[in-house]
Each structure stands twice: as C-alpha cells, then as structure tokens.
Amino acid sequence: MNGEEIAVIRTMTMDDYDQVSALWAGIHGFGIRSIDDSREGIERFLRRNPTTSVVAQTPEGRIIGSILCGHDGRQACFYHVCVHEDYRKQGIGRRLVDAAVEAVRKEEINRIYLIAFKTNQIGNAFWSSIGWVEREDRNYYDLYLNEKDTTVFNA
C-alpha cells in the first residue's frame, strides 16, 4: 500500500483533538506544552487558523499524522508535524506538508517556517530531504509569558 491508500489528508477540526493529542503523546521525544496543547489551547489556535492545520486519517478513521499550522498575515509556522511511527516512509508526511503548504498559499502567505530541535535527527533529515533550507543566519529567542505552560518531552 502507498500513502494515498493508507490515509486521506484533510483539514483538522476540534473533533480530531482527542486522537491528535493521543498521537502526540505516543511519539518518542515529542514535546507537549501543558497549556498551549490542551484542548482549550488547540481550540483557540484552530479558531484563529481554521483552514491551515491538517491531519492524515486512515479509512477506519484513525488519525496517524498531523500538522498544526497558523499564520499572522505575513508568515506561517508549522508546529507538531508528525506521523505515527508505524506509518512513516510511505509519503504521508510529504502529503501532509503539501496540503498545509497549499492551505497557506490560499491564505496568500508567502513564507512558512518551522522549528526542529537539533536532537530531532529524523525530523531534520525529513525537512532536508524535501527541500527545506536550514537557516544558520538567525538566533531564535523565547520570552515565556506564563511559567505554568511547560513543555514535557515524551520518553
């Protein structure tokens, strides 16, 4: 079977939250934010960005991949790009990216960025293999406004 037979790619809705959250929780090394990735946090994100986040769903209804994607009117960002480990190397990740990119184009946004942790060897290899360019001319800074919104990385 190829990726097209395994899963359909479609826009993410709040009805997908439980399965998407379970997918994230099952991926080794995945970082989950306590507030931003909660049901309320994702609901707020999808309200602001209703057309740009996507999921991969099997014919049986199982969510096996996701990309949270939002924009600010100038540029878009991919968050939580993942495919369940049992379904990798079948073109599903590429199809998710293509669908999210197309959704961003429809919003007339001209740039997408993402952050991949340096220790995420699988993710970094994926992005390089599909033509994304690693930036070395920037520093990335965070200012945390809510110390209660912590990140927990899956073992």
Give the residue with greater pLDDT, 155 vs 130.
Answer: 130
pLDDT over 80 at 118, yes or no: no
- Tell me the sheet residues that pair with 77: 70, 113
- Residue 126 falls in which region: left (phi positive, over 0), alpha (psi -120 to 50) or beta: alpha
Average pLDDT, integer, range 82-103:
95
Read off the pLDDT of each residue in 36-50 and give the average, rounded to a whole number: 96
Residues 152 and 34: beta-carbon distance below 8 Å: yes
Cβ-based neighbours of 18, under 8 Å, separated by 6 or more? none
Pairing of strands 76-83, 112-114: parallel
Q: What is the average pLDDT score of the chain?
A: 89
Band the pLDDT of 108: cuts 50, 70, 90: very high
Least confident of 4-13, 77-86, 106-115, 133-142: 133-142
Question: For the purposes of burial, counting CB atoms within 10 Å of the CB of 99, is it exposed (0-12), middle (13-18) or buried (19 or more)?
Answer: buried
CA angle 34-32-44, nearest 5°? 60
pLDDT at 143 over 80: no
- The DSSP secondary-structure symbol of 79 reads E
